[in-house]
Structure 1
Amino acid sequence: MPRSMKNDNFIDKSFTVMADLILKLMPGVSSDQKKAFAYYRDGMAAQGDGEYAEALDNYKEALALEEGEEDRSYILYNMGLIYQSNGEIDKALEHYQQALELNPRLCSALNNIAVLLHHRGEASLEAGDEEAAEALFDEAAQYWIRAIRIAPNNYIEAQNWLKITGRANLEVY
C-alpha cells in the first residue's frame, strides 16, 4: 500500500485525495507521469517521517518515470537532502549538481552546495590546510553569488559572509 494511503493525518489524506483527483482529470498527462507523481508524493511523505530509505526508493522510481527536467531536478534535490542528512556529502553534492544541470535556477541546490563547500573549507582550515580552505571558500562563494543573483532577498548570512571576506561586491538591489 502506498505511504500516502497509510497516513492518519486528515489534512494529508485530504491533500492526497485532491491531488489524485486533479491528476486523474488532467488531460495530456501520461500514465508514467501519474505514477512518477505518486512515487514523488510518497517519497516526500516518507522523507517527512524520517524514513529515508523508503523515500529514496520512491524517488528512484519517480526519477525512472519522470520526463520533465524541472520535476526531475526537484527529485534529485530531495535525494541530495537525504544523502546530506545521512552524512553522505559526496552523494549529496552529486545529486545537487545533477539537479542544477536540469534546473540552473534551483537556488536551494546552489545554497546547499555552498554550505557543504564552506563546511569543508572550515574543516580544511582546522586541519591547517589554508590553501585548500581558501579554494573551497572561493568555490562556495561562487555558488552563493549565483543563488543571491537569482533570489536577492535570500541568504542574508551568505551575503554578509561574502562582504566580510571580500569575496563579492554584490549589488543585487
Structure 2
Amino acid sequence: MPRTQKNDNFIDKSFTVMADIILKVLPTNKRSKEAFAYYRDGMSAQADGEYAEALDNYEEALKLEDDPNDRSYVIYNMGLIHASNGEHDRALKLYNEALELNPQMPQALNNIAVIYHYKGEKTKEDGDSEGAEDFFDRAADYWKQAISLAPNNYIEAQNWMQNTGRGG
C-alpha cells in the first residue's frame, strides 16, 4: 500500500494532500512527477523513523530525477538518515555530493560542520588535542560557509567560533 494511503497523522495527511495537488498542477513530465512521489514517500517514511523504507524511496527518486537541484535534496535527506544512524563518514560523503549539485545548501554545510565538531570532541576525549583542533578548524570552515549563505541561522555556531577564536 502506498504510504500516501496509510498515514494517520494529520500533519502527514496535510503534507500528502498538498504534495498531491502540487504533483497534479506541476507543469513537468511524468518521470519528474514520479520522482517527486518517491521523494515525498521517502520524507514521510523518514519522519516516521522508517529509515530503510525512506532510503528505498530516495533511491527510486534518484533513478528518475534528472534535475541537479532536486537530486541534491534527495541526497541530502539520505545523508540525514546516515548521520542519525551514526554513519558519519557515509553522511559526509552524501552531504558533499549534495553540495556538488547545489552549492547553495547551507543546511548541508552546517551538517558537515556538526559532524566535524563531533569528531573533534571525540578526538579530544581520546587525548589527541592536535587532531581535535584539526576537526574543529574544519567545522569552523564549513560553518563560515553556511553562515555566509544564511546569515541569521547558526547563531550557536557563530558563538562557538567567536568563543574559540575561529572567527564568526
Q: TM-score, normalised by structure 1?
A: 0.91
Q: What amino acid maps onto 1:23 in structure 2? A: L
1:31 CA displacement: 1.3
- Rounded to whole Å, the distance in 1 between the matches of 2:128 and 2:15 is 51
1:152 CA displacement: 1.1
2:7 matches 1:7: yes
- Rounded to whole Å, the distance in 1 between the matches of 2:73 and 2:135 is 25
Which position in structure 2 is the counterpart of 1:49?
A: 48
1:87 CA displacement: 0.9
- Rounded to whole Å, the distance in 1 between the matches of 2:8 and 2:129 is 52
Gaps of 5+ in 1: none
Indicate how the Cα distance of structure 1 residues 124 and 31 shifts in structure 2: closer, same or farther if over 3 A, else same: same
- What are the Cα deviations for residues 34-70 of structure 1, in whole angstroms up to 9, with x where unaligned? 1100000000110011000000000010011111111
SS at match of 2:153: coil
- Rounded to whole Å, the distance in 1 between the matches of 2:70 and 2:139 is 25
- Rounded to whole Å, the distance in 2 between the matches of 1:142 and 1:10 is 40
Gaps of 5+ in 2: none
- Rounded to whole Å, the distance in 1 between the matches of 2:139 and 2:11 is 39
1:103 CA displacement: 1.0
Alignment of 1:99-118 (within 5 A): 99-118=98-117
Which position in structure 1 is the counterpart of 2:145?
A: 146
Task: Tell me the number of residue pairs that the alignment of Structure 1 and Structure 2 aligns.
Answer: 168
1:10 CA displacement: 4.6
Alignment of 1:1-173 (within 5 A): 1-27=1-27, 29-168=28-167, 170=168
1:25 CA displacement: 3.2
Q: CA RMSD in A?
A: 1.4
SS at match of 1:138: helix
